[in-house]
Amino acid sequence: MKTFEKIRSVRKIKSSILIFLVVMLAMVGCATAQPIANFTASPTSGQITTSTGLPVQFTDTSQNGPMVNWTWNFGDGSPLDHSINPSHSFVIAGVFPVNLIVWNLTDFSTVSHNVTVNPLAQFTPVNPVGNAPFNVQFTDMSYGQPNIWAWAFGDGNTSTIQNPENLYTHSGVYVVNLTVERNLLLNKSVNTNVTVNPSADFTINPSPGNVSNTFQFNGTATGSPVVKYTWFFGDGTPAFIQFATGNQSNTTYSYTVANTYYPNLTVLGQGGTQSTTVTKTLPVFPVAQFSAPSNTVAGRVVQFTDTSLGDIANVNSGPMSWSWNFGDGASSTDQNPTHIFAPGKFTVTLTVTKNGLSDTTSKIITTDSPNLYLLRSGINGNTYYFLANKYGIPSGGSIRFAAYPTRSVLNTRLITTPTTIGTTYRWDFYGANTLTHIGPVVTTNYFIDQTFRTEDIYTVVLNVTDSRDTYTVTKPRLVVVRGTGGD
């Protein structure tokens, strides 16, 4: 019985050993098979789009494993990788042979597949918009470490340096592109625009000026071709548009209201480009002027009429003022004042102000005593003058001259009866051009009727001798004798 059990136990042991040996032989048989290396890449080609490069996922598909080691060489100089399914980013443009070596228990296998990495051309202008002449600095921002650059600036100029400059001399919108290359792989940039606006300027003549001036505006533009010039003269009138025939625009303009204006010019270039608006300051002053008699008689009312230019009196066009100085200590702020002068010679000044801008003018007003008398100081308050009933006559005409002492007119404007303090009156008449001398005419009467027969301009001299002294009254160039008259 015991022998039978022993025999069955031995058989079980032998069977287990046999199964183990079969399994081990099977494993040994598989290990001795040649491995077949292979892998897939996703993607196998592409363009670098970021600074981190083109990411590629690699997946091992080798056969006849099990594999005990993987060695990846990505062909771009990066370190070897021993992952089963690595991911790798290519930062340099080129065609890279990616190699995989796999090992099983007894042997190894290798395989290579290419990954194509294209560069990305891109750049930025430091400033894409400017006024002609406009120098633009371009900065290469390409990915893939290109080593060849081909620039086209859109104006016919090109460059092969990495970060070039280009000077644009004409207005327009220019399409700039860059083509980069590395390892025979090319990429052309998406078009980038550079806008070059024309530059404008202008002069005004005269500047400053006044409302009587016609102003000459001379506009210039840099960056031809120029399409049109648009002028605003600053007084609310519509724009004046002048289509260009060159790089100059000349026009004239006049202002009617005294004010400070801000005219401006804008230039339109090709491609819709437009200059910055150039503005100038132009003070346009009023012109002060007035009318009044240059000769008048003392004691009479003199009317002054403002005739100034510059829309002075219009309250709707801005504040205004008048300042009169009559030269005798009196003044006025009326537009059209009146004034009474004593005998003498006075400088009357008018200053007009409109919208803060002023102008001044002057006129000499000569006033004689009634009927053109002159005075000369005497003693004891007595002075003498004479009256002439007219002073412009034809030859052969007669003028009455009458002498009066001032004491007879101290309290009255007009003389009707003289006080004959003087006893002797001597009259002399001197021609300025013919040297004609009429006189002396000596009389004890205070008046004479004198006839003039020679055409000339006469100075009248009166010498009065009374009980106190001799007084001389002179009126230069008083009598004007013209043409022919009676005998």
Longest dimension (CA), the chain: 208
Minimum mean pLDDT range among 82-96, 234-248, 254-268? 234-248
Q: Which residue has the higher pLDDT, 325 or 423?
A: 325
Q: Does domain 123-196 have CATH number 2.60.40.10?
A: yes
Terminal Cα-to-Cα distance of the chain (whole angstroms): 204
Minimum mean pLDDT range among 390-399, 412-421, 428-437, 468-477? 412-421
Question: For the domain 198-284, what is the CATH superfamily, name and number?
Answer: Immunoglobulins (2.60.40.10)
Interval 261-316: pLDDT, tens: 999 999 999 889 999 999 999 999 999 999 999 887 777 899 999 999 999 999 99
Mean pLDDT of 347-373: 84
Rounded to 5°, the CA angle 385-391-396 comes to 125
pLDDT grade for 111, boundaries at 50, 70 and 90? very high
Give me the residue spans of the domains in the chain. 39-118, 123-196, 198-284, 290-368, 384-482
Helix (H) or strand (E) holding 22: helix 2-31
Model pLDDT, residue 487: 37
Per-residue pLDDT at 467 exceeds 50? yes
384-482 shares the fold of 290-368 = yes
Please return the burial class of 483, using the count of CB atoms within 10 Å of its CB with bins 0-12, 13-18 and 19+.
exposed
Task: Name the CATH code of domain 39-118 (choices 3.30.160.110, 2.60.40.10, 3.40.50.1370, 2.60.120.260).
Answer: 2.60.40.10
Task: State how far the Cα of 193 lies from the Cα of 464, in Å rounded to an integer.
Answer: 101
Interval 385-404: pLDDT, tens: 566 666 567 778 888 888 76
Q: Which residues contact 213 (CB under 8 A, 6 or more apart)?
A: 206, 254, 284
Mean pLDDT of 207-226: 94
Q: Does domain 290-368 have CATH number 2.60.40.10?
A: yes
- For residues 410 and 431, is the Cβ–Cβ distance under 8 A? no
Give, in words, the CATH class of 384-482.
mainly beta
Model pLDDT, residue 383: 52
